[in-house]
């Protein structure tokens, strides 16, 4: 529904073009949205490996204050007028707003004996069930990204995925230098509930990569660069390299994995019946 208090959100038309959707509002404002951005920010965000850079809608409709799009194969998505208007402009992010997360461990992760007593000093905790968890930095939506994450389980042979993000970026700098240079100057905003924060993908000190921060699932829809095609191309390259360097660890109840959240991406493959306890520390 279009709010009577916000006539600026009244849509006039939505016209599919070659690579973008042209959207016009009743108040005279108009802009274009790249199809790949619209597909990325639909009802459910696809994995980067499945995101088609050249996707085109099968059908476009404009009615009742929203744009409806059917993506191949027969996937329906709805974009409200307010959502589109709020994301019509590029919002550059500067480093002064983003504190650097320091490396804590000398290694990306270590496996150790699980302590008998429960650790009550963690800042937050959650758990993962049977569903797959896409790898990424834990809690990037906080202004100060947590430094340490621990994983333990009461379930035998629980599987988790760990990726050395610093190693992946280092490899990317040699194999895909153009895409790496683009990511090097890029800031990405993340959001979860009321929390929102922006961080650089990488921290570099004395020309050495010392830290990494990325989480595809918690990426906000905000556009922080005008180079949309380069943005998604570079992210897809980085994602593919990360997938090639995934370590699947089998965790036992008597074990605990301590992970440096500034170096490592954490996730989990689908596994029926599994439950992993995730604890986050500053």
Q: At what angle do helices 177-184 and 165-175 cross, to 10 degrees?
A: 130
Q: Residues 85-121: pLDDT tens digits?
A: 999 988 777 554 444 555 667 789 999 999 887 767 8
| Rounded distance between C-alpha atoms, residue 24 and residue 11, angstroms | 6
| Rounded distance between C-alpha atoms, residue 204 and residue 81, angstroms | 39
| Rounded distance between C-alpha atoms, residue 261 and residue 165, angstroms | 10
pLDDT-based confidence at 7, cuts 50/70/90?
A: low
Contact yes or no for 114/253 (Cβ under 8 A): yes
Domains of the chain (ranges; CATH) run 7-86 (3.30.2020.30), 95-281 (3.60.130.10)
Residue in this structure with the two tokens 């790496």, named with its chain if needed? 180
Beta-bridge mates of residue 20: 34
Q: Residues 205-240: pLDDT tens digits?
A: 988 999 999 999 999 999 888 899 999 999 999 999
Segment 160-184 mean pLDDT: 97
pLDDT-based confidence at 68, cuts 50/70/90?
A: very high
Q: What is the pLDDT of residue 1?
A: 39
Beta-bridge mates of residue 268: 133
Among 2, 4, 39, CA closest to 19 = 39
| Rounded distance between C-alpha atoms, residue 87 and residue 2, angstroms | 17
Residue in this structure with the two tokens 């402009």, named with its chain if needed? 89
112 alpha-carbon distance from chain centroid: 29
249 alpha-carbon distance from chain centroid: 22
Contact yes or no for 162/257 (Cβ under 8 A): yes
Neighbour tally for 65: CB within 10 Å: 15
């Amino acid at each position: 529904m279009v709010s009577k208090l916000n006539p600026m959100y009244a849509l006039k038309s939505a016209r599919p073009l070659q690579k973008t959707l042209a959207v016009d509002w009743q108040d005279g404002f108009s802009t274009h949205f790249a199809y790949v951005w619209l597909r990325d920010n639909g009802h459910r965000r696809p994995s980067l490996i499945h995101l088609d850079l050249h996707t085109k809608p099968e059908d476009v409709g404009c009615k009742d204050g929203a744009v409806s799009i059917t993506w191949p194969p027969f996937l329906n998505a709805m974009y409200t007028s307010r959502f589109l208007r709020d994301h019509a402009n590029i919002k550059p992010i500067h480093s002064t707003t983003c504190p650097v997360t320091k490396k804590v461990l000398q290694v990306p992760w270590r496996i150790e004996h699980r302590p008998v007593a429960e650790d009550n000093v963690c800042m937050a905790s959650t758990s993962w069930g049977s569903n797959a968890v896409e790898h990424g930095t834990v809690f990037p939506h906080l202004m100060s990204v947590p430094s340490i994450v621990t994983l333990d389980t009461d379930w035998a042979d629980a599987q988790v995925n760990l990726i050395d993000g610093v190693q992946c970026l280092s490899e990317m700098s040699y194999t895909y230098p153009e895409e790496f240079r683009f990511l090097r100057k890029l800031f990405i905003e993340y959001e979860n509930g009321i929390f929102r924060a922006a961080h650089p993908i990488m921290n570099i000190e004395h020309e050495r990569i010392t830290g990494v921060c990325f989480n595809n699932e918690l990426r906000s829809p905000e556009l922080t660069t005008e180079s949309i095609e380069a943005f998604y191309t570079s992210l897809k390259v980085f994602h593919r390299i990360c997938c090639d360097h995934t370590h699947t660890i089998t965790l036992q109840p008597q074990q605990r994995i301590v992970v440096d959240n500034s170096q490592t991406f954490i996730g989990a493959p689908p596994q029926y019946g599994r439950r992993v306890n995730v604890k986050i520390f500053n």
